[in-house]
Chains A and B, each alone.
Chain A
Amino acid sequence: MQLLLNAIASAAILAPAAIGFTLIFTLFRYTNFAVGALMTTGAFAAWGMNELGLPIWMGGVFAVVFGAGLLLASDRIVFEPLRGRSGGTLLLVSIALSVIIDNVIRFAFGTQIRAFDLPLRPPLTFAGLRFTPETLWVIGISILATLAVGALLAFTRLGRALRAVADNASLASIRGLPVPRIEAAGILLAGALFGLSGTLAGLDLAIEPNLSLALAIPVIAAAIVGGLGSPLGAALGAVIIGLAEELTVAFISAPYKGAVGFVVIALVLLIRPQGLLGRPVERK
């Protein structure tokens, strides 16, 4: 049970980012590896506000806004001019972007490990489970965010339009949808989710610039496991990755937690290249 709780806590951090990653993938059909760096940026943004004396929740809100803006800016500057290039080229570019962002953080904040200004409290115990109040917050916020995004996509006009553009952008344009504006909304939403995931990661883990790769691989793994199609899939993928990570920690060795994403990606791609929940993805 403790393992399950830990797994859900891990999944809670990954889920929003995995949903954002899936959104970008369905809209533009490329793997944005910078997701890890953007999450790290979110963590630093929230931490920075916290350092200035603002409460953590306000830091989180700032991180969400900052993440949305940063992803939109990076899309305009880096990715938009390269639309139509191969997925491999865009992945390479996103890795370069990731290195740039990491080093901007390193430049600005150094390599020191940071943490939010949280009061030290003894972990709570309930029904034999040990957890911190922060863990509960992380899980709660993540579930709320996942449900909110799911509802947005399923029930709102913008959500329908996002799915329509992801499905067939040229038809969307013919049918009178303002495709560039809808894509921009999707990018903002994804960036906000990256910022949120970053804040949650900061609550649970240490905040340091070397976090990017350790965050990017499980997030991408969760999205791939989830089939790169639906937010529900991505969230479920996050739970599976979280579980695999905790099983690794419990039965193999804690440091190799970082390798879990890789192994799961390899396995899933071997067995079901379209992911667990996905339909086959049209690839460029």
Chain B
Amino acid sequence: MTQLILEHLSAGYGGADIVHDVSLQVGSGEIVTLVGPNGAGKSTLLKSLAGVARVTAGSLSIDGTDLVALSPFERATRGVAFMPQDRNVFRTLTVTENLETSAWGHDDIAARKDEVIGLLPTLANYLNKAAGGLSGGQRQMAALGMTLMSRPSILLVDEPTAGLSPNLVGEMLDVLQQLTRDSGIGILIVEQNARAALARADRAVVLVDGRLRRAGPAAELAAEPDFGALFFGDHA
């Protein structure tokens, strides 16, 4: 049972903090959805966990190991995998190469690759295509596959369905849900399609102006009458 724990975490990009005093936990096998209006700091929070944005105060740890001082590379090797929203594949490499490269430092690359293809079977259809030439859905699937190559315990996913057609949105979210069940990965996801994400999440947290506004079981929050109007606007 792995736990990613944030306590009173503030973060930003070197200027003023964008995220303030957020406490949160993500454990094995659960999906936590991060929702909130545009510009609330959801992506910044995710990036600060991955080491791309800077944690300026508070603590961040995985199973007791402090992550704050570690580089993105070191966090990746400790089981925290981040899937950025865009520029998330190496465009000049084939999908196979993308996958293999993402397991640097492990000697069971072939086994890991088979495992990932087992989890994401559609990858098999375009393994030898250059990632730069993939469709939006294929690219997101390849990017997800790359994050899984490191056998992460916690997955941080930034808007995996951005730009995807509606039927692919559900498919992608189903795949993520399946991952938590099959491999016990814990997922923290930022998702614009909040209703669809909440439907598959165990818990949800609401971020407004960089601060944690609400937290609770996803179904409970989704059921609140003013919830959609308050936080999703037209995304509901």
Residue contact A160 to B73, C-beta cutoff 8 Å: no
What's the nearest-Cβ distance from chain A to residue B27, in Å? 22
What's the nearest-Cβ distance from chain A to residue B130, in Å? 11
Highest count of chain B CB atoms <10 Å: which of A166, A170, A171: A171
Q: Chain B: how many interface residues by the 8 Å CB criterion?
A: 29
Of B34-42, B61-69, B83-91, the segment with at least 4 beta carbons within 8 Å of chain A is B83-91
| Set of chain A residues within 8 Å of B50, measured between Cβ atoms | 174
Of A118-126, A175-183, A235-243, the segment with at least 4 beta carbons within 8 Å of chain B is A175-183
Is A29 in contact with chain B by the CB < 8 A criterion?
A: no
| Set of chain B residues within 8 Å of A170, measured between Cβ atoms | 52, 72, 87
Is A164 in contact with chain B by the CB < 8 A criterion?
A: yes
What's the nearest-Cβ distance from chain A to residue B143, in Å? 9
Residue contact B92 to A167, C-beta cutoff 8 Å: yes
Quick one: which of A161, A168, A178 contacts B87, CB cutoff 8 A?
A: A168
Residue contact B73 to A178, C-beta cutoff 8 Å: yes
Residue contact A160 to B77, C-beta cutoff 8 Å: no
Residue contact A157 to B104, C-beta cutoff 8 Å: yes
Residue contact B150 to A164, C-beta cutoff 8 Å: no
Quick one: which of B71, B76, B92 contacts A175, CB cutoff 8 A?
A: B76
How many Å lie between the Cα of A160 and that of B103 in the bound state?
A: 11
Quick one: which of A168, A176, A179 contacts B77, CB cutoff 8 A?
A: A176
Is A2 in contact with chain B by the CB < 8 A criterion?
A: no
Of B94-102, B170-178, B228-236, the segment with at least 4 beta carbons within 8 Å of chain A is B94-102
| Set of chain A residues within 8 Å of B149, measured between Cβ atoms | 175
Is B225 in contact with chain A by the CB < 8 A criterion?
A: no
How many Å lie between the Cα of A170 and that of B84 in the bound state?
A: 10
Is B55 in contact with chain A by the CB < 8 A criterion?
A: no
Which chain A residue has the least Cβ–Cβ distance from B94? A160
A-B contacts counted at CB < 8 A amount to: 71
Is B14 in contact with chain A by the CB < 8 A criterion?
A: no
Is A163 in contact with chain B by the CB < 8 A criterion?
A: yes
What's the nearest-Cβ distance from chain B to residue A105, in Å? 37
Residue contact A176 to B93, C-beta cutoff 8 Å: no
How many Å lie between the Cα of A168 and that of B86 in the bound state?
A: 12
What's the nearest-Cβ distance from chain B to residue A254, in Å? 40
| Set of chain A residues within 8 Å of B197, measured between Cβ atoms | none
Residue contact B84 to A175, C-beta cutoff 8 Å: no
Residue contact B150 to A175, C-beta cutoff 8 Å: yes
How many Å lie between the Cα of A171 and that of B88 in the bound state?
A: 6
- Please classify the interface of chain A as helix (H, G, I), strand (E, B), loop, or mixed, using the class held by over half of its residues: helix
Residue contact B73 to A157, C-beta cutoff 8 Å: no
Which chain A residue has the least Cβ–Cβ distance from B76? A176
Residue contact B90 to A168, C-beta cutoff 8 Å: yes
| Set of chain B residues within 8 Å of A166, measured between Cβ atoms | 92
Highest count of chain A CB atoms <10 Å: which of B52, B82, B104: B104
Is B146 in contact with chain A by the CB < 8 A criterion?
A: yes
Given A163-B93, A167-B90, A173:B72 Cβ within 8 A: yes
Residue contact A171 to B87, C-beta cutoff 8 Å: yes
What's the nearest-Cβ distance from chain A to residue B36, in Å? 23
| Set of chain A residues within 8 Å of B166, measured between Cβ atoms | none
How many Å lie between the Cα of A154 and that of B101 in the bound state?
A: 12
What's the nearest-Cβ distance from chain B to residue A106, in Å? 41
How many Å lie between the Cα of A177 and that of B149 in the bound state?
A: 12
How many Å lie between the Cα of A171 and that of B102 in the bound state?
A: 10
Q: Which residues 143-193 in A have Cβ within 8 Å of B in the complex?
A: 157, 160-161, 163-164, 166-168, 170-179
Residue contact B93 to A164, C-beta cutoff 8 Å: yes
Residue contact A160 to B87, C-beta cutoff 8 Å: no
Residue contact B104 to A178, C-beta cutoff 8 Å: yes
Quick one: which of A163, A168, A171, A177 contacts B104, CB cutoff 8 A?
A: A177
| Set of chain B residues within 8 Å of A179, measured between Cβ atoms | 73
Residue contact A157 to B72, C-beta cutoff 8 Å: no
Is B15 in contact with chain A by the CB < 8 A criterion?
A: no
Residue contact B91 to A167, C-beta cutoff 8 Å: yes
How many Å lie between the Cα of A174 and that of B146 in the bound state?
A: 11
Can you list 12 A-B contacts (CB < 8 A)?
A157-B100, A160-B100, A164-B101, A171-B84, A171-B90, A173-B71, A174-B76, A175-B104, A175-B150, A176-B73, A176-B104, A178-B105
Chain B residues at the A interface, C-beta cutoff of 8 Å: 50-52, 71-73, 76-77, 82, 84, 87-93, 97-98, 100-105, 146-147, 149-150
